[in-house]
Every structure is written in C-alpha cells, then in structure tokens.
Amino acid sequence: MRIRPPNRRIGILLSGRGSNFEAIAENVATRSLDAEIAIVISNVESAPGLARARERGLNGVFIPSQEKPREAFDWDVVSALNAHEVGLVVLAGFMRIFSPIMLQAYPNLILNIHPSLLPAFPGRDVQQQALDHGVKFSGCTVHIVNEQLDGGPIVMQATVPVMDSDTADTLAARILVQEHRIFSQAIDLILSGRCDLNGRKVRVTHGFP
C-alpha cells in the first residue's frame, strides 16, 4: 500500500524544548525540505518549542491536555489539524499517547522520532536504558505511529557509537545530531509519496533515491 499524504502541509506537535521542530523549521525555511508548517501544537503552554514557533511567525497553538479525557484532547487536536488542512502529523518530542480518534483521523500519517534503535528501548529515559544495557551502538528511529507505544513501522534509523565515558546526556546529545538530520529526510520520503507499507515494513519503492 502506497503511503501518500493529501498535501505537503505538516502539523508539528511538541511538549518541550523543540530542537527537532527547529531543525525541521530551518529545513523548510531554506527549502531543503519542501513542506509548509501549517500549525505547531503544544499541550504544554510553557514549552520553549511553542515560543520558538511563534517567534518564527508560525501558527503556534496551545491545546491543554491536563485533566481532560484522552479522547477530548484528541478531538481538539484533530479539529485544529483539519482546520489547517494538515496532511502529515509530525511528533517532535510530544509526550502524550493518542487514542484511536487521532490514529483514525491520520492513518499511517503520523510520524514520531525516538532516541533509540527501536525495538530496543521504547518508552522514557532510553539513553540511560541503553547505557545500563551496555550496548555498543544506539541511535534514533523515525516511525509511523500506531496503537503500540514506539512500536509502529520504521521509516528511517541512524546509529551512533556508545563510548565507555558516556553519560545519558552525552549520548543524548550525540543521538540528537542524527535526529535533526534524519527527521526531515523521513518527512520528505513520506510527503513525496515514495513509500510503500506492507505489514509493518516500509519500503522506498518510488523514485528512489
């Protein structure tokens, strides 16, 4: 099955720092990523990423999630995305799990980035998990979001070495460089309709490279 978003308008969801958002925004601004950031949504009002989106003149919207049923929050997000004709949803450090409402509104059209080589180390504090496990390589994964936490089909991965002297912070910084590099590439792959999805396998089959 070909994955083909209806347009190149992306909606970015974030909850924190927003360095992945900034890397994408920079690539859009310099036209190395052919996309339009239609809306940036945060469920955290004080998220630095939301402030940075507004500083860039982008449409930054706070949608509260606290004390709200998961479905109600998802409806609010889907309404905002629809109102801005978003074709692809990009999770850039978005710390919340979706209900089926969101997954059905954007089937195979939600991308997430995770700072490990999935399926190793899903969840949180994954750099520390990688160090504790003693792996020699770690990295990052861009995947399609499905109903499993960090379990959706893998679009792209990048590896980094793990040093004996690493702390969770130094490893995270090394991985982040790769996150900033591959997230925009994966977004472009999906936006340009070059990927097929068979089961959980994503293959670049159209117009490679």
Contact residues: ligand GRF, CB under 6 A: 14, 16-20, 49, 92-93, 113-115, 179
Q: Which two tokens stand for residue 82?
A: 């629809």
Cis bond upstream, residue 119 (ω within 30): yes
Of 108 and 127, nearer to ligand GRF (C-beta) is 127
The C-alpha torsion from 122 through 125 and 131 to 132, rounded to 10°, is -90
Do 106 and 89 touch, CB atoms closer than 8 A? yes
**Between 83 and 173, whose beta carbon lies closer to ligand GRF?**
173
Neighbours of 43 (CB within 10 A): 21
Q: Which residue, among 35, 6, 11, 13, has the nearest Cα to 188 in the 3D structure?
A: 35
Residue nearest to ligand GRF (CB): 93
Find the catalytic residue in 84, 114, 133, 180: 114
Kindly state the smallest distance separating residue 4's Cβ from ligand GRF, in Å. Answer: 25
Closest to ligand GRF by CB, 22 vs 194, is: 22
Nearest approach, Cβ of residue 93 and ligand GRF (Å)? 3
Question: Would residue 114 show up in a list of annotated catalytic residues for this protein?
Answer: yes
List the catalytic residues.
114
